[in-house]
Amino acid sequence: MDEAETLREKASRLMNEYEAVYTESAFAQGLAAYQQLPAEQPDAAGLHLEYGYLQECHGRVAIRRAARCYEQAIELDPATISRDTSSPACRRR
């Protein structure tokens, strides 16, 4: 963070970086910045919106990773899904 960049600007920059390239370091640093900001600006609605969006982006990445795992399981053994009905993933179908 250069000296002219505020914590809010840093958080926003890291959120945009994470949205563009999904690096874990951008998420972790952005998360840390957004966790500090509500204490400084508790009434800033836009701040809470940005913080939520960062977490939403991270959730989408996690869901895509989970989907790839499920796809791999199906490719390896298509019967896995029908056999493993006790799995929480299967119960949600």
How high is the pLDDT of residue 80? 76
pTM recorded for the entire structure: 0.72
- Per-residue H/E/C for 49-93: HHHHHHHHHHHHHHHHHHHHHHHHHHHHCCHHHHHCCCCHHHHCC
| Average pLDDT of span 71-92 | 71
Tell whether the model's pLDDT for residue 19 goes beyond 80.
yes
The pLDDT mean for the chain works out to 85
Query: Is the per-residue pLDDT at 90 higher than 90?
Result: no
